[in-house]
Chains A and B, each alone.
Chain A
């Protein structure tokens, strides 16, 4: 990074195309007819290739069904994605870390090879004005650290974990996560922060969500540590595509589904890029709200279900800053995941403020892509964000806020890697508008929906037999593991449906 560029406050437009600003361009030209080679009829059409769509497609294909997967973007993976930039940079969007359960899910629903590529993160750090510690995030180690940092009674912390572990999603008693934390750790904003902040980063949830959402997600994580995929997101998705192809799934990218076709009250297929393709069942991995309100359409549904869907709140969005370290430069090992903030106290509101002081740094060292001879260093900063804050900005304000976000982020990073600006040769930011543009998620939602979305998602097939939904909903089905497993759960329901439909 030159001094000139620093003085311009990272207004890198002077560099021309080297810095793409996210929400313009970036899409390949639409193919003339992306679904030209699709057959006329399938047992299952999957709309969207997020991890739930990919996994659902694979489970159905391995059960012997004829499956077609349609993705609007030119790349597969949904938000499990990456992008490349000049200088040899590969940026992972959502590879930050997932619970150990992913190993089992990958082995069962994908392949042993993928499961064997999952590795544990070495270190996770917290740093904010209230506390600072490093942990493996295993149950034992994390407990040691919080007991020590906050002078807590170990048995009490254990009883909190046990309470969380016993929660089931069908016995939501209306208690919020904030109330539950207050009950176990009264007046301890610092303790609430240690328990809540990582989960907010992971799924966009707040202290106001039902405690059950926290219980399930936290229990998944609080086990054997946090894991990642060695090889990077690109390798993972490539391996999944190979498996899908081997299992006979027809896959089409650049395929824009316009409608789910309903005939005699049941699902009949989809219209994609103007062409109608028949299907005995459809799995939508699009946002649940757009699935119901746009793809199915109100004329095919009862008014109360429409109302219920409208009332579903989205879980918020994200901003990210992608930082590429020059080839040949190195940065020391800091940690794998850094949850850091300069905010004095923890509030859910501060975390998604337009100018939040809180962010997660994901550090990607050469070990992320061991197969590449000159794999470099990238750093991805993520923070929670609100669509409403970014949506209304005009182009000038938008650029200004993005640049300010980049500046704040680099200032924050300098605290941990002094002189890092000198080693950077690429930086760009994404906002809720960027997420909206690439994934077509309403309001740029990057975590799916709040808890009430789960009920709409699970009951969709009662309203349109043969139509199912899987994806990030209800917070507990969010994140890589949640959405993969939800894809399996839904595929199982679909297989039952197809069996019964055939028997009739």
Chain B
């Protein structure tokens, strides 16, 4: 999975859990929480969806790595290697 596809995977999850959010203009370097109306349950849902869709496990000590799209990519690059994007 390319870096761009990892971003797509995260945005796809956010679109599904929060259909009312506009995710078309997310700045990858800025914290997701500062751009979108996401609470702690939303982040938990991202973790659960990563597990469900991609078999990727994020222990709670690593939740901070999901802060922005860029940090997600850095954190997930190895974990998502070789996986197919689920839409």
A positions within 8 Å CB-CB of B: 59, 62-63, 101, 104-105, 108, 485, 488-489, 492-493, 495-496, 499-500
Cα–Cα, bound, A52→B27 (Å): 36
B51 contacts A63, C-beta separation under 8 Å: yes
A489 contacts B59, C-beta separation under 8 Å: no
Cα–Cα, bound, A101→B41 (Å): 10
Would you call B44 an interface residue if the criterion is a C-beta within 8 Å of the partner chain's C-beta atoms? yes
B9-34 toward A: CB 8 Å interface, digit per residue (1/0)? 00000000110000000000000000
A-B contacts counted at CB < 8 A amount to 29
Cα–Cα, bound, A493→B18 (Å): 22
B41 contacts A492, C-beta separation under 8 Å: no
A63 contacts B41, C-beta separation under 8 Å: no
Q: Which of B17, B18, B45, B48 has a CB less than 8 Å from the CB of A63?
A: B48
Cα–Cα, bound, A495→B59 (Å): 10
A488 contacts B57, C-beta separation under 8 Å: no
A492 contacts B48, C-beta separation under 8 Å: yes
B positions within 8 Å CB-CB of A: 17-18, 41, 44-45, 47-48, 51-52, 57, 59-60
A496 contacts B59, C-beta separation under 8 Å: yes
Interface of chain B, main secondary structure: helix
Cα–Cα, bound, A265→B18 (Å): 41
A59 contacts B48, C-beta separation under 8 Å: yes
CB distance from B64 to the nearest CB of A (A): 14
Given A105-B41, A488-B41, is A499 in contact with B48 using a C-beta cutoff of 8 Å? no
Cα–Cα, bound, A489→B43 (Å): 11
Residues on B with C-beta less than 8 A from A108 are 17, 45
Closest to A485 in B: B41
Cα–Cα, bound, A108→B15 (Å): 12
Residues on A with C-beta less than 8 A from B47 are 492
A sample of 29 inter-chain contacts (CB < 8 A) reads: A59-B48, A62-B52, A63-B48, A63-B51, A63-B52, A101-B41, A104-B18, A104-B41, A105-B41, A108-B17, A108-B45, A485-B41, A488-B41, A488-B44, A488-B48, A489-B41, A489-B44, A492-B44, A492-B47, A492-B48, A493-B60, A495-B48, A495-B51, A496-B57, A496-B59, A496-B60, A499-B51, A499-B57, A500-B57
Q: A59-B48, A63-B52, A485-B41 are in contact. List 12 more A-B contacts (CB 8 A).
A: A63-B48, A101-B41, A105-B41, A108-B17, A108-B45, A488-B44, A489-B41, A492-B47, A495-B48, A495-B51, A496-B60, A499-B51
The 9 tightest CB contacts between A and B, nearest first, are A499-B57, A492-B48, A492-B44, A485-B41, A63-B52, A108-B17, A108-B45, A496-B59, A495-B51
Closest to A109 in B: B45
CB distance from B39 to the nearest CB of A (A): 8
Residues on A with C-beta less than 8 A from B48 are 59, 63, 488, 492, 495
Closest to B51 in A: A495
Most-contacted residue by chain A among B48, B51, B57 (CB, 10 A): B48
Cα–Cα, bound, A62→B48 (Å): 10
Residues on A with C-beta less than 8 A from B51 are 63, 495, 499
Closest to A59 in B: B48
Residues on A with C-beta less than 8 A from B59 are 496
Residues on B with C-beta less than 8 A from A485 are 41
